[in-house]
Structure 1
Amino acid sequence: MVRIGVTGGIASGKTLVADELAGLGAIVIDADVLARQVVQPGTTGLAEIVLRFGSEVLQPDGSLDRARLGDVVFRDDRARADLNAIVHPRVRAEATRLEEASPAGAVVVHVIPLLVETGQQNSFDGVIVVDVPEETQVERLMRRNGLTRQQAHDRLNSQVSRQERLAAADWVVDNAGAPERTRRLVGDLWDGALANLRKAVSGD
């Protein structure tokens, strides 16, 4: 098994890269997807969030109001740490379960937005960083999530710097251009460095 970590700043395009890797044959385990699953209504994760942050972070239907919770945690380091302490262990446990169920020779890609923040950069056979300029992140967040510029910057500032993230990279995928260019870069990486890594791990 080859284990690859994929990370990048918020709105950098991790999903585009992960989807392309999946299409090429990788098994993708996305921490963002798991983070939503572990706080669904009826889960202990959501119950702990309500206990910590109050019922005002719930939608009328009892599901988590992610936008409201985001307004709290992205401007309060302690609140964000408390939320991470609830969500991250559950996400890691589910990611481990999914990885252990993967075939022995698989390329397993873990998409982890906070990979560097949580010190996991040395836990993989290689790390791909999806990179765009910070202003591109801000513009995408404002357009995609309907955020103000200040809210977008709050979310960027809650993560490590672009320089720290790039320092953890074995490979960088520049996603500042057209999606077709990004897909081509991912394909080149799959056929080149990742193919060599697969051979090295398998002993071929």
Structure 2
Amino acid sequence: MIVGLTGGIGSGKTTVAKFFSEFKNIAIYTADLEAKKLMNSSKIIKDNLIKEFGELAFVNQKLNRKYIAEIVFKDKEKLANLNAIVHPEVKINFQEFVKNNSKKDYIIYENAILFESKSNLICDIIITVFADINTKILRVIDRDSSTKKEVLNRMKNQWQEDKIILQSNYIIYNELLDETKWQVNKIHNILTKKAQNF
């Protein structure tokens, strides 16, 4: 059983995934982390990124994240092109991960752009992490030393939250950590039972 875990920037997906990672009967795949690794290791991705963004896309054989981020967060078409280069490789990588973790009760597929990348189509269940907009802005400013304007720009490139919530099976309200952990435990128990009948 594949469980998609998503949520807007600053909603606290990483925190929720950390709580889920305490359970031994599941496996967690973090698409963003794996995409970063693949961008540095996959020749197919590297060649296509240089074709799309020029030689500056890599510095000393390493992905020039800042340079690419500045381009894609201001240009929706460039962001779509970046996703079209990276996502097919992430998909292949994830299929391998699923094969290697077939003994687990369920696999969490954590992806900030689950719907935008159409990865929701490979999920049996979807969990969305939700937080108040001001909480999210403060979290991102704090985490990335971004400006409020930069955070709002990045938010504009993500799907509207109400649209995502309507297509989710479970919503985790991530404001107070104790409550978040309680919600994670509750959902995990339900999913473990579901997986056994899956």
TM-score, length-scaled by structure 2: 0.92
Q: Any conservation in 2 of the 1:129–1:173 contact (CA below 8 Å)? A: yes
Name the counterpart of 1:188.
186
Which of structure 1's runs of 4+ aligned residues deviate more than 3 A? none
User: Is 1:45 aligned with 2:8?
Assistant: no
Report the AA paired with residue 10 of structure 1: I
**C-alpha distance in 2, partners of 1:200/1:153?**
42
**C-alpha distance in 2, partners of 1:93/1:49?**
18
**Unpaired stretches in structure 1, ≥5 consecutive residues:** none
Q: How many residues align?
A: 197
Name the counterpart of 2:196.
199
What SS does structure 2 have at the residue aligned with 1:147? coil
Report the AA paired with residue 158 of structure 1: N
Q: CA deviation at 1:55?
A: 2.5
What SS does structure 2 have at the residue aligned with 1:27? strand
After superposition, residues 1-204 of structure 1 pair within 5 angstroms as: 2-25=1-24, 26-40=26-40, 43-59=43-59, 61-177=60-176, 179-191=177-189, 193-201=190-198
**C-alpha distance in 1, partners of 2:42/2:113?**
26
**Unpaired stretches in structure 2, ≥5 consecutive residues:** none
What SS does structure 1 have at the residue aligned with 2:159? coil
Cα separation, partners in 2 of 1:101 and 1:41, compared to 1, 3 Å? closer
Q: Any conservation in 2 of the 1:116–1:168 contact (CA below 8 Å)? A: no
Q: Any conservation in 1 of the 2:83–2:117 contact (CA below 8 Å)? A: no
**C-alpha distance in 1, partners of 2:179/2:86?**
34
- Aligned-pair identity (%): 23
1:37-57 C-alpha deviation (Å, 9 max, x unpaired): 111156331232122112233
Cα separation, partners in 2 of 1:137 and 1:67, compared to 1, 3 Å? farther
Q: Any conservation in 1 of the 2:87–2:117 contact (CA below 8 Å)? A: no
Cα separation, partners in 2 of 1:95 and 1:41, compared to 1, 3 Å? closer
1:13-66 C-alpha deviation (Å, 9 max, x unpaired): 11111122121121011101111111115633123212211223334x331121
Q: Any conservation in 2 of the 1:41–1:62 contact (CA below 8 Å)? A: no
Q: CA deviation at 1:144?
A: 0.9
**C-alpha distance in 1, partners of 2:102/2:166?**
31
Report the AA paired with residue 161 of structure 2: R
Is the deviation greater in 166-175 or in 64-73? Answer: 64-73
